Amino acid sequence: MKLRMFISIVMVVSLLVGCSSGTTNNESETKDTDNQETIKIRFSHVSTPTSLKGVATEKFAELVEEKTDGAVKVEVYPSSQLYGDNDELDALIAGNVEMINPSVSKLVKLDKRWQYTDMPFLFQSTEHVYDFFDSDLGKVLLESDRLIDNGIIGLTFWANGFKNFSNDKQEISSPEDFKGMKFRTQAGNVIESQFRALGAGATTIPWGETYSALQQGVADGAEVTADLMSSANFHEVQEHLTISEHGRLDLAVLVNKEFWEGLPDDIRDQINEALEEATEYERQLALEFNDKSIQELKDGGMKVKELSSEEKEKLEQALQPVYDEFREEITPELIDGIKGLAQ
């Protein structure tokens, strides 16, 4: 009898423990389900976390979490951790990431009009640039069928800055000074035409390999923003900086169309609100980064030459063949429309 009672007690205890374990598992599964309900946005970019792009992207991530009360989490992957310059756009189209903010020149393979950003001396000032970003002309590019048909929606423009020339050979103050030098560039027919008009060579090198290319003499110089030069320690491998402000290097914040349209309306509105605030923050930050970066390059030992208005005019005249070659491809409507915004 005692044995039977002992066995019964053991069975009852086992059942109770089993029920308790079952409750714990159910609670764990509920928590897992709750975690899965958090919407995650993988945001990939190629710049360092401390660069202009890096700082602004982190700000956007913070604002999204705040606006959505944690319902959406933006996971930022800087420094080409996921995808590099040459494949992040394809990754967005394939849905392997949800958002990117590439240089607008990366969109040229989808729409030739995006070459506008490389046209020399098209923009007269930062205010001129920002007016274009917020104009109907800007919206035409961001919302074009050529992007949408490829599964991309353009949300907004972010500023990076005016491009300037660096080199390790000599001071540049006139078109003749470019002759015989080779410059690292992004891929682009307009840029190749620009250096051809100046009697210089152009070699396409991914941004992540630029420092070593300059160090090893693969290229004599480069044309990028002061922020990018500073963040990449150009002062260690380049002696001269010419403040020419001849072209732009700006960004487009892009999202995968299927992902974006699949979001609840209220969540999409909250993300848009966060992006609007982040964009205002980013554009102001771009101005601060530019001034700070030029000073850092000076402090690092680079010799800085700021072109006068007369020197800029001579350079602009030397680059007129670029307009003759690309006006129709980029379209007169866009080029003349942008110029008209400065008046």
Domains and CATH numbers, the chain: 38-340 (3.40.190.170)
Q: Inform me whether the pLDDT recorded for 18 exceeds 80.
A: no
What mean pLDDT do residues 290-297 have? 95
79: left (phi over 0), alpha (psi -120 to 50) or beta: left
Report phi then psi at 279, rounded to 5. -65, -45
> pLDDT digits over 223-266, tens only?
999 988 998 999 999 999 999 999 999 999 999 999 999 999 99
What is the maximum alpha-carbon separation in the chain?
A: 112
Distance CA 247, CA 241 (A): 15
User: 0.75 exceeded by the pTM?
Assistant: yes
Distance CA 252, CA 16 (A): 60
Burial status of residue 147 (CB atoms within 10 A of its CB: 0-12, 13-18, 19 or more)? buried
> pLDDT digits over 75-86, tens only?
999 999 999 888
